[in-house]
Structure 1
Amino acid sequence: TLTFTVSSTAFTNNGAFPKLYTCDSTGISPKLSWANAPVGTKFYAVVMHHIPPTPPNHVYMLLYNIPVTTTSIPDAVAGVGIFGQNTVNPTLAYTPPCSQGPGAKLYTITVYALSATPVFSVAASAVTRDLFLAAIANTILATSVINVTYTR
């Protein structure tokens, strides 16, 4: 069987995250594409987060309810899916990482292939990564991850 994979033409797994997608530049969301979703996939979701030395996790993008017919998102994605909360500011959008302190920081982008749309007991504007992960726990058919690093 084929493996569900996520990729980008802008960076590679375990590679450097381009400045374009950070607060040191325009800070737009990264272009991504995915392939080989399992049979039964109805929706996709994309989460980008960072695990700092001390909790909580930082969430830069939570984009869900991406239709199964969509297998890529462009730079500065708009009009596709529903944005949940990021942990940096109160907007329902991608927010660029703005790493603090010395050294490379690791950011993880996960694409989920889901068998159903998540159901929440809160308004869409209140959906956090934790609520999202709980809502999709029984509908995840596959995941694919790209890890990237950024050094300021």
Structure 2
Amino acid sequence: MNVKSSSFKNEDFIPKEYTCDGSDISPDLEWDMVPSAKSYAIIVEDPDAPAGTFIHWVIYNIKDNKLPKNVPKVNNVSSMIQGVNDFGKVGYGGPCPPKSHPPHRYYFNVYALDVELPEKSGVTADELKRMMEGHIIDKGVIMGKYKRR
């Protein structure tokens, strides 16, 4: 499953607008439609964080094969459910690596699922991964980098 964004290209730097140094809004994303998918889920991870993989976004029950930029940071957005990121907040939290660090990598993992998952508030990435077990029929990823100046 190919994943793309008009906000940044795969393996390129993520523009400041989508980070803690800018407006901290989510970028637009689009992926290949998987004909048998009932829903899609996205988990955004930074494996370069000092304390281990840091979660920036948890969202699921996406019906379409795209998301617009600036998804509102609320639990339920037109039937999509957003979980809690590692900032302790609902919705997207943009890249915000320590200023002394080299560029971090941000993986926007998109999962095609054969079910719609139960609505649950405050879902973490680990919980979502457990809920998706046995239901992932395809997966794609786009990776962007960011370094604070």
- Aligned position for 2:67: 73
Q: Structure 1: how far apart are the matches of 2:50 and 2:23?
A: 27
What is the identity percentage for the equivalent residue pairs of Structure 1 and Structure 2? 30
Separation of aligned partners in 2, 1:27 and 1:135:
28
Separation (CA, whole Å) in 2 of partners of 1:28 and 1:36: 24
| Superposed counterparts of 1:44-123, under 5 Å | 44-52=40-48, 54-67=50-63, 70-78=64-72, 79-80=77-78, 81-89=80-88, 91-100=89-98, 101-119=100-118
Tell me the CA shift for residue 54 of structure 1.
Answer: 4.4
Please, what TM-score do these two structures have when normalized by structure 1? 0.86
- Code of the residue aligned with 1:96 in structure 2: it is G
Q: List gaps (5 residues or longer) in structure 1.
A: none
Q: Structure 2 length as normaliser, TM-score?
A: 0.88
1:133 paired with 2:129, answer yes
Paired positions, count = 142
Secondary structure in structure 2 of the residue aligned to 1:132: helix
Closer, same or farther in 2 for the Cα pair 1:138/1:17, shift >3 Å?
Answer: same
- Counterpart of 1:47, as a letter, is I
Structure-2 residue corresponding to 1:35? 32
Deviation at 1:113, TM superposition (A): 0.4
- Give the alignment's Cα RMSD to 1 decimal: 1.6
Any unmatched runs of 5+ in structure 2? none
> C-alpha distance in 1, partners of 2:147/2:90?
26
- Are the equivalent residues in 2 in contact too, given 1:5–1:36 (CA < 8 A)? no
